[in-house]
């Protein structure tokens, strides 16, 4: 048994969650019901910008089944909190406007909530919405990221002149100016990173229940961050302290970041339940609502300048980005295009001079916040497009340019000379490890990179333009040292440690309770593998629990590819405490000194006397009954550990995309995709591959198909899956995955995190491939997504034909 157990870590173990997920017995938010449950529906603004003169709810109140109609004016709560201003407490001005639970005076985007109906059935609630009359005063709208800053643009907020949310800078301004002025070559390009709609499979929803007997609230919701929300919803929004609010995330069917945040509906269902004397109130958004009222991602306009020498050395990078934050700010919106973007722009390259300016703007669009990768895909897109533009300008192979500028393997730990990774309190994170060239070489070899000329000729004979693109990415994940990310540092108004509790019950069965919150990643499996390995017990004897603030230790939740670095290490620490106590108990039971006990798997033996041994199960039994324990030892095997990571982790790799473009129609087909990723050691390679597959496809989706389109009047034209193109399996080739393994020095497992890596890398690879395919026509850049009509028009223009 013991040997098998030792093999669990790093094995392709099938996921323990999947029995319930694939048999339809998972328990998601909408599967939960209670006696007396009521249903809430939200009336959303049909205008992108308007004042609310008045709201007449009388007809709605008279509708069948309606038990309450709620407007913003009656809700005595604060506007939602904004937890991550740009620049933290560095003194940078953030002109903050966040949503209220329901809008009171005005709306700033189509879909902002203005009133709510609670009824006996969901059907009655939706019907009654149509009976609410709002007297609107429509206002001029602005949806364009750049035009929002122009003189004369419609203004959204009094405290945000010119629609500016913040102006943030990082890096060495003077040095970068000099590098550009002195450079042999400077390449400049405007890049648009278009707005995306994340589309988790399960939409958001919540149930609020107030207990009038105890004056306590319970919130069930599809959330990535139950513990943090107890603070954000409870204290900051409603003024309710932690011990009066319990937050529970049931099974969560995907999130991609969208379920990190504090949404207005959380406090709304709690308010409604209290209003109804404690009847539970459920709200589940429609897919349409998910499109207009759950956060969007990306939406940058960037001007990049890359300076260098004709031999391929890059000497400077200057970036100016305008980041669209939407009509009001989501919970950590400003943190994404600043800390998580501006500070990682130089990627895996040694660039001596880097400077970035980021301006956040308000527009009459849905709020923008973290979407899979959150800032790092945008940064990777900028640096990887810049590398290709520079290579093109000096006539050098893009792979050779990358190789020349990679941080060498002896550069680590690497402290970016521009201070990019230094927080305002002086605390730093270091790029702790890396070996970039082997991953690049492996990817090039697998893709047959240097033999593609023949393939290009062959494609040309079929009327196709073949192109190849590289993306050598650096991810910053495993977030984050509290000192760096905390209140006095990067400004996320909180720490970022994690927690784990392990209890070994009387029969030797183990309950592991975690502060992290899965959304489909298979945490229950990977934590079980870790604890099985650490304590030498079969996986079947372990269960992992999470996601309920009553009964799980505080944790900051799961996002930023942090669970395997921070959460797993907490679990290992808790297991070490269990082992240590079990060792002392075994010594007592075996009448030996604790130092004479050696542990192998679940066996605790006296050194030199292998027959004198106790199993963990026997020890747990004895400690639970506790009638014969060492002097001063507390009964029971129950240990909690907290872990604050000393550094982030830095996955890297090179992805290669090969595309073919139909010259007659502009249709782009991704024909091959090779990914060589270094995510360090793996707890479960099958789960790692699944994460990479999904991430790569989402990134490809941005490059080729996805875009949120707003009309000038602020209506979301790509407002459903009929108009917003999500990737489909049949559109993709087999993804060819390979690896290098450079264990992270940051944690005992040597793991780095993989939830976002695919999405961070793949967009730029596909983009570079499309531009490469079009380059024989003299095209040097094209903004995403590469829809057939756009590519066709580009080809026609390049050929001098009509367009």
Our CB check for another protein shows the closer of 666 and 695 to be 666
Our CB check for another protein shows the closer of 490 and 663 to be 663
CB of 728 to another protein, least distance (A): 8
Question: By CB under 8 A, which span of 170-178, 207-215, 219-227, 723-731 interacts with another protein?
Answer: 723-731
Task: Dump the DSSP string for 70-111.
Answer: EEGGG--PPPPP----TTTTSS---------SS-SSEE-STT
CB of 665 to another protein, least distance (A): 6
Counts for the chain of helices (H) and strands (E), in that order: 20, 26
300 SS3 class: strand
Binding mask 341-380 for another protein (x = CB under 8 A): ----------------------------------------
CB of 717 to another protein, least distance (A): 5
CB atoms within 10 A of CB 21: 14
Report yes or no: 72 and 132 within 8 Å, Cβ to Cβ: no
Tokens encoding 573: 């620490």
Report yes or no: 121 and 37 within 8 Å, Cβ to Cβ: no
Our CB check for another protein shows the closer of 232 and 732 to be 732
CB of 793 to another protein, least distance (A): 7
Q: What are φ and ψ of residue 690, in 5° steps?
A: -60, -40
Tokens encoding 388: 């290709």
Our finding on whether 705 is near another protein (CB under 8 A) is yes
Binding mask 764-793 for another protein (x = CB under 8 A): -----------------------xxx--xx
Our CB check for another protein shows the closer of 406 and 705 to be 705
CA dist 60 and 80 (Å) reads: 27
CB of 245 to another protein, least distance (A): 30
Please state, in angstroms and as integers, the Cα–Cα distance from residue 670 to each residue in 244, 383, 664, 677, following that order.
Answer: 53, 22, 17, 19
Residues of span 112-171 touching another protein by CB under 8 A: 122-123, 126-127
Our CB check for another protein shows the closer of 424 and 725 to be 725
Our finding on whether 715 is near another protein (CB under 8 A) is no
- Residue 577 class from Cβ within 10 Å (0-12 exposed, 13-18 middle, 19+ buried)? middle
CB atoms within 10 A of CB 4: 13
626 SS3 class: coil
Our CB check for another protein shows the closer of 280 and 727 to be 727
CB of 786 to another protein, least distance (A): 11
Interacting residue with another protein among 722, 734, 778, 800 (CB under 8 A): 722
Interacting residue with another protein among 104, 169, 446, 720 (CB under 8 A): 720
CB of 731 to another protein, least distance (A): 8
Our CB check for another protein shows the closer of 288 and 403 to be 288
- Residue 549 class from Cβ within 10 Å (0-12 exposed, 13-18 middle, 19+ buried)? buried
Residues of span 286-305 touching another protein by CB under 8 A: 286-288
Our CB check for another protein shows the closer of 58 and 665 to be 665
CB of 802 to another protein, least distance (A): 8
CB of 123 to another protein, least distance (A): 5
Our finding on whether 724 is near another protein (CB under 8 A) is yes
CB of 803 to another protein, least distance (A): 7
Question: By CB under 8 A, which span of 96-104, 228-236, 713-721, 750-758 interacts with another protein?
Answer: 713-721
Our finding on whether 625 is near another protein (CB under 8 A) is no
Tokens encoding 210: 């107030």
- Residue 23 class from Cβ within 10 Å (0-12 exposed, 13-18 middle, 19+ buried)? exposed
Mention every residue, 6+ apart, whose C-beta is less than 8 A from residue 390.
Answer: 185, 187, 306, 308, 314, 401
Our CB check for another protein shows the closer of 184 and 789 to be 789
Our finding on whether 201 is near another protein (CB under 8 A) is no
Question: By CB under 8 A, which span of 280-288, 450-458, 540-548, 603-611 interacts with another protein?
Answer: 280-288
Interacting residue with another protein among 192, 424, 590, 725 (CB under 8 A): 725
Our CB check for another protein shows the closer of 441 and 787 to be 787
CA dist 457 and 464 (Å) reads: 9
Report yes or no: 253 and 199 within 8 Å, Cβ to Cβ: no
Our CB check for another protein shows the closer of 492 and 792 to be 792
CB of 288 to another protein, least distance (A): 7
Report yes or no: 519 and 561 within 8 Å, Cβ to Cβ: no
The CA-based angle 484-486-489, given to 5 degrees, is 55
Our finding on whether 723 is near another protein (CB under 8 A) is yes
Dump strand ranges (E) for 233-366.
245-248, 281-284, 297-308, 314-326, 353-362
Mention every residue, 6+ apart, whose C-beta is less than 8 A from residue 727.
Answer: 697, 698, 700, 701, 704, 705, 706
Our CB check for another protein shows the closer of 169 and 286 to be 286
CB of 265 to another protein, least distance (A): 17
CB atoms within 10 A of CB 184: 12
> What residues form DSSP beta bridges with 656?
470, 674
Applying CB under 8 A, what is the total number of residues that bind another protein?
29
Question: By CB under 8 A, which span of 147-155, 574-582, 724-732, 759-767 interacts with another protein?
Answer: 724-732
Our CB check for another protein shows the closer of 290 and 529 to be 290
Our CB check for another protein shows the closer of 455 and 709 to be 709
CB of 534 to another protein, least distance (A): 44
Binding mask 80-119 for another protein (x = CB under 8 A): ----------------------------------------
CB of 667 to another protein, least distance (A): 7
> Dihedral of CA 373/378/379/381: which sign?
positive
CA dist 10 and 660 (Å) reads: 37
CB of 411 to another protein, least distance (A): 43
Our CB check for another protein shows the closer of 626 and 803 to be 803
- Residue 433 class from Cβ within 10 Å (0-12 exposed, 13-18 middle, 19+ buried)? buried
End-to-end Cα distance, the chain: 70
Our CB check for another protein shows the closer of 266 and 705 to be 705
CB of 144 to another protein, least distance (A): 16
- Residue 786 class from Cβ within 10 Å (0-12 exposed, 13-18 middle, 19+ buried)? buried
Residues of span 657-676 touching another protein by CB under 8 A: 664-667
Residues that bind another protein (CB under 8 A): 122-123, 126-127, 286-288, 664-667, 705, 709, 717-718, 720-726, 787-789, 792-793, 802-803
């Amino acid at each position: 048994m013991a040997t098998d157990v030792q093999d669990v870590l790093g094995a392709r173990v099938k996921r323990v969650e999947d029995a319930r997920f694939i048999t339809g017995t998972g328990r998601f938010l909408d599967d939960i019901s209670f006696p007396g449950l009521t249903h809430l529906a939200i009336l959303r603004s049909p205008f992108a910008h308007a004042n609310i003169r008045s709201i007449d709810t009388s007809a709605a109140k008279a509708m069948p089944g309606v038990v309450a109609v709620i407007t913003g004016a009656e809700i005595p709560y604060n506007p939602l909190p904004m937890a991550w201003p740009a620049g933290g407490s560095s003194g940078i001005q953030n002109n903050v406007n966040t949503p209220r639970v329901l809008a009171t005076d005005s709306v700033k985007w189509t879909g902002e909530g203005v009133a709510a109906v609670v009824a006996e059935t969901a059907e009655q609630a939706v019907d009654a919405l149509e009976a609410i009359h709002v007297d609107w005063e429509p206002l001029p709208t602005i949806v364009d990221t750049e035009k929002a800053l122009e003189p004369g643009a419609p203004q959204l907020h009094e405290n945000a002149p010119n629609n500016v949310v913040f102006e943030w800078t990082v890096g060495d301004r003077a040095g970068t100016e000099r590098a550009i002025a002195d450079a042999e070559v400077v390449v400049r390009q405007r890049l648009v990173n278009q707005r995306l709609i994340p589309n988790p499979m399960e939409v958001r929803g919540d149930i609020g229940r107030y207990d009038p007997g105890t004056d306590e609230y319970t919130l069930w919701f599809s959330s990535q961050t139950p513990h943090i929300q107890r603070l954000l919803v409870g204290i900051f929004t409603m003024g309710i302290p932690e011990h009066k609010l319990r937050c529970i995330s049931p099974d969560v069917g995907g999130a991609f970041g969208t379920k990190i945040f504090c949404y207005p509906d959380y406090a709304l269902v709690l308010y409604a339940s209290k209003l109804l004397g404690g009847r539970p109130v459920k709200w589940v958004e429609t897919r349409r609502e998910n499109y207009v009222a759950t956060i969007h991602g990306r939406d940058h306009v960037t001007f990049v300048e890359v300076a260098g020498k004709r031999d391929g050395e890059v000497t400077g990078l200057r970036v100016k980005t305008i980041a669209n934050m939407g009509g009001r700010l989501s919970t950590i919106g400003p943190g994404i295009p600043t800390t998580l973007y501006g500070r990682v722009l130089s990627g895996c390259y040694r660039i001596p001079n880097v400077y970035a300016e980021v301006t956040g703007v308000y527009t009459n669009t849905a709020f923008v916040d973290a979407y899979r990768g959150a800032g790092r895909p945008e940064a990777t897109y900028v640096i990887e497009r810049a590398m290709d533009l520079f290579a093109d300008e000096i006539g050098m192979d893009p792979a050779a340019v990358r190789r020349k500028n990679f941080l060498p393997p002896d550069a680590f730990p690497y402290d970016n000379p521009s201070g990019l990774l230094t927080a305002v309190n002086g605390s730093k994170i270091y790029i702790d490890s890396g070996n970039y060239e082997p991953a690049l070489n492996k990817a090039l070899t697998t893709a047959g990179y240097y033999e593609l000329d023949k393939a290009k000729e062959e494609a040309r004979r079929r009327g196709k333009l073949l192109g190849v693109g590289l993306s050598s990415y650096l991810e910053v994940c495993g977030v984050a040292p509290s000192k760096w990310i905390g209140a006095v540092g990067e400004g996320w108004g909180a720490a970022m440690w994690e927690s784990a509790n392990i209890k070994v019950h009387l029969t030797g069965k183990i309950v592991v309770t975690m502060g992290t919150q899965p959304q489909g990643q298979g945490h229950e499996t990977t934590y079980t593998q870790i604890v099985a390995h650490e304590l030498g017990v079969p996986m079947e004897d372990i269960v992992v629990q999470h996601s309920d603030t009553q009964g799980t230790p505080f944790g900051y939740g799961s996002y930023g590819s942090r669970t395997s670095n921070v959460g797993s290490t907490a679990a290992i620490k808790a297991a070490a405490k269990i082992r240590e106590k079990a060792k002392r108990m075994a010594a007592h039971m075996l009448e030996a000194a604790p130092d004479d006990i050696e542990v192998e798997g679940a066996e605790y033996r006296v050194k030199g006397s292998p027959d004198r041994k106790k199993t963990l199960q026997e020890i747990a039994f004895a400690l639970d009954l506790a009638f014969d324990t060492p002097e001063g030892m507390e009964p029971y095997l129950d240990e909690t550990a907290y872990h604050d990571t000393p550094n982030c982790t830095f996955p890297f790799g090179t992805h290669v995309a090969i595309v073919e473009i139909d010259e007659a129609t502009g249709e782009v087909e991704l024909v091959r995709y090779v990914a060589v990723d270094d995510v360090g050691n793996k707890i479960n390679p099958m789960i790692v591959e699944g994460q990479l597959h999904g991430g790569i496809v989402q990134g490809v989706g941005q490059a080729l198909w996805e875009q949120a389109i707003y009309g000038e009047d602020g209506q979301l034209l790509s407002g459903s899956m009929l108009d917003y193109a999500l990737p489909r399996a049949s559109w993709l080739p087999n993804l060819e995955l390979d690896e290098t393994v450079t264990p992270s020095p940051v944690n005992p497992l040597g793991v780095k995190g993989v939830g976002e890596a695919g999405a961070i890398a793949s967009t730029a690879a596909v983009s570079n491939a499309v531009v490469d395919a079009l380059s024989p026509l003299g095209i040097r850049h094209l903004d995403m997504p590469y829809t057939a009509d756009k590519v066709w028009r580009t080809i026609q223009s390049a050929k001098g034909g009509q367009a």
